[in-house]
Amino acid sequence: MPSLDDDRQDKGTINISTENPADIKTSVSRLLLHIVLFRVATLARHGHYSEAESLLKGTVGGVEETPACLDLLARIRAQQGRLLEAKSLWTQALVLDPNNETYKAGLECIERVQSHSLWLTWLVTNFPFIIRLAVIIVIFFAGFFIGGNILNFNQSPKRGVEKIVVKRDVPPDLKVTVPGISVVTEMNEIKISFNSGLFGNGIEITPENKKLLTTFGKQLETHADHILLKVVGHTDNIPIVTGSKYKDNLALGMARATIVAEHLRTTTKLKSDIFLIGSLGESMAPYPNDTPENRARNRTVAIKISNTGKR
């Protein structure tokens, strides 16, 4: 950004030797303006902004009509951090002197500063959400590795003790065949998605989906000793109403994941220690939030099934 240390406007000497009285008057005015601007810039460089501005406006009548004065005022405003005013002043100066590269450089610098400020504002505004999301991710990965602690005994097992072989790098060997459920194998996990939303607007599972979840859970019972279920809550993109029980959609998603895990635990033989719960709220929704129908489908959970390594 142009600074107050830059040389002011005319760098050479001002020639006032002329025989035309009108030209002499013009040259003298330019010289006086040059001297005033130099003094104003000196005051501003030392932080005496009020004195500098008073001298400029008191000595030069039509500040808004002189590009050099507008430029100097813009530099003072920029140094004070009043970027919007500086931008306005440099814009006015460019109207009077459209080809001046110094004014253009000042405006470009302000655009860059404001662009960085927008990113900083976004980061500060969303910092709590970013922290919560990071914590959830850490918990997920910690649960993933801790839940299936790799046991690899290279030494010969004692007599009567079965050697444990851990295979966590392959998906569980199970089949889920429940109407209304989509099953996709992703690397070492089986991802379960529900074709319709499990919930209404709150945390109450609809009656038909309670039956669906129970049927799904019972198909997992024979594998319960060597699988891990990660239940992730989802929501639509409608903000939580002020005064609601839940602070935001992230909290609502966590409540939904908890409700589903508890339903599976209480209606089947699946034990509580195989469940991990988390929430993504409205982020990474299973379906686009572009229609009322799709928003309803996003009031749900996703379940990922992985091996614990126990056989």
Mean pLDDT of 76-105: 81
pLDDT in tens, 28-40: 666 766 777 777 7
Q: Say what the pLDDT of residue 171 is.
A: 79
Provide the whole-model pTM. Answer: 0.48
Band of residue 61 on the pLDDT scale cut at 50, 70, 90: low
Q: What token pair was written down for 202?
A: 């709150």
Cβ contacts of residue 43 below 8 Å, gap of 6+?
Answer: 49, 51, 52, 55
Note whether 252 and 240 are within 8 A (CB).
yes
Residue-level pLDDT at 7: 46
| pLDDT, mean of residues 255-277 | 93
CATH T-level topology, domain 169-307:
60s Ribosomal Protein L30; Chain: A; (3.30.1330)
> Residue 142 has what pLDDT?
64
Give the mean pLDDT of 61-68.
Answer: 63
Taking the domain 21-116, which CATH number applies?
A: 1.25.40.10
> Would the pLDDT of 199 be above 80?
yes
Q: Which of 30-44, 92-106, 225-239 has the lowest mean pLDDT?
A: 30-44
Residues of the chain with CATH 3.30.1330.60: 169-307
Q: What integer pLDDT is reported at residue 10 of this predicted model?
A: 44
Give the residue, 34 or 185, on which the prediction is more confident: 185
The tens digit of pLDDT for each residue in 120-160 reads 555 555 666 677 777 777 776 666 555 544 444 344 444 44
Tell me where in the chain the CATH 1.25.40.10 domain(s) lie: 21-116
For residue 203, pLDDT beyond 80: yes
